[in-house]
Chains A and B, each alone.
Chain A
């Protein structure tokens, strides 16, 4: 089995489990395979020796220490092994994406706040011509509220997935350079 196929299968299985941090595991195995290739081992044989995807999953679930060692290794790789260029580009890409998302979510949040504010202000300053008018304005307020929550959700998601996002970016940049190197 080739690396891409192995990682794809692993990702598919990992995504079925909510208690496993997918990107941490993928980054770990990707690096493991790359190290093996760099030291002259054959890709297919090394992957075969890693065991089946099911075995890996079982290990991840059963051995609590395994996932801790995965994270520790990833931290070490990012800190010491990963090429400086990859890290710089990775942080740069992440910075741009994060900045854009924060700006967009802030705009969405403020728009939502504005719409809610307008709806409230409208209710305070003018009396709707009929009772249905109150509900129509309530509808506007709910749309505003949804934008407000969406803005918060995007920022929260961004910070919750900080490490995972960085690992995805590092892994992709690393693979890109490896392919170019070949």
Chain B
């Protein structure tokens, strides 16, 4: 082995040793620039009708929206001296922006992902007496909303966070996450636009009076007991499974995965187009080579994959 290789190995071993020993005995927060002890709790309380919307922009924080029990808006979070959190509470929209110098963000993005610690949570308590709009932005944080039925528009954007909407009624939902999973359970809405690059989109018992648009590159699309005016689902590299769907216009596309759709209705009422380059096509339990069925019918099903099987099953209503 060359001298340089030996030198590199020696430096690496010494470095790992020194780092491991002194990290263990030091109180220095190596993996995060911000020490947990430096966090201080902040809380703001407002009347229910003081705002109609909330615009929060935090780096590396999780958002949790809860029902307020005292009919007042409450916002809670933890902050440090190293952060500059600006609260603008004039006007109809409560704006909170977290400016943290990039140097303090080194390694600290992992905090919100790796720990469940509440210091990385931003909590918003909303009264049920009013309807609100929510517009949240986070770099690595998650969004969790449970049991809310008074949100009009929800816009959420994050790079690496998961999104959970459970038992919610929200008029318009727009969610974008690069690497997070999007889960909706027992929700209803008029419009749903979900976009993730590498996460799975999972909808269970979801009713949408308008359109559902879903886009993921490397995640699965899993729909169970979903009703909508139209459904458009696009995945590049994963399978799509849509079960017990109630919809008159379904369009599901993937490049590398199976597509399975079970839909309520008479098969004679649906114009069906199925296409796959490398796989089998099954039309209501029968393997077929024909791509089009019932051309001209008003209800539409379009299932397209390049490398996978395509199956459509019709369920009697």
Contacts and interface: CB of A to CB of B under 8 A. Distances in A.
Interface residues of A, number: 29
Interface string B1-34: 0101101111110111111111101111110010
A139 B23 contact: yes
Secondary structure class of chain B's binding surface, majority of residues:
helix
A150 B5 CA distance: 6
Nearest to A155: B4
B16 A143 contact: yes
Given A139-B20, A146-B8, A146-B12, A130 B26 contact: yes
B28 A140 contact: no
Nearest to B25: A132
B103 interface: yes
Nearest to A133: B28
B106 interface: yes
B35 interface: yes
Given A130-B28, A149-B4, A150-B5, A136 B22 contact: yes
B8 A136 contact: no
B27 A129 contact: yes
Nearest to A135: B22
B229 to A, nearest CB: 49
A117 to B, nearest CB: 11
Contacts of A156: 2, 4
A143 to B, nearest CB: 4
Given A139-B18, A142-B18, A132 B4 contact: no
Q: How large is the interface on B (under 10, 10 to 19, 20 to 34, 35 or more residues)?
A: 20 to 34
Nearest to B12: A146
Secondary structure class of chain A's binding surface, majority of residues:
helix
Interface string A102-119: 000000000000000010
Contacts of B12: 142-143, 146-147, 150
A136 B11 contact: no
Interface in A117-131: 118, 121-122, 125-126, 128-130
Contacts of A14: none
A129 B8 contact: no
A2 B21 CA distance: 56
Contacts of B35: 129
Smallest CB-CB A-B distances: 7 pairs: A139-B19, A142-B15, A133-B28, A153-B4, A132-B26, A139-B18, A146-B11
Interface of A: 118, 121-122, 125-126, 128-130, 132-133, 135-147, 149-150, 152-153, 156-157
Given A132-B27, A136-B28, A153-B8, 6 more contacts: A118-B106, A132-B28, A136-B22, A139-B22, A142-B18, A149-B7
6 contacts: A122-B33, A128-B26, A130-B27, A136-B19, A139-B15, A149-B4
Interface of B: 2, 4-5, 7-12, 14-23, 25-30, 33, 35, 103, 106
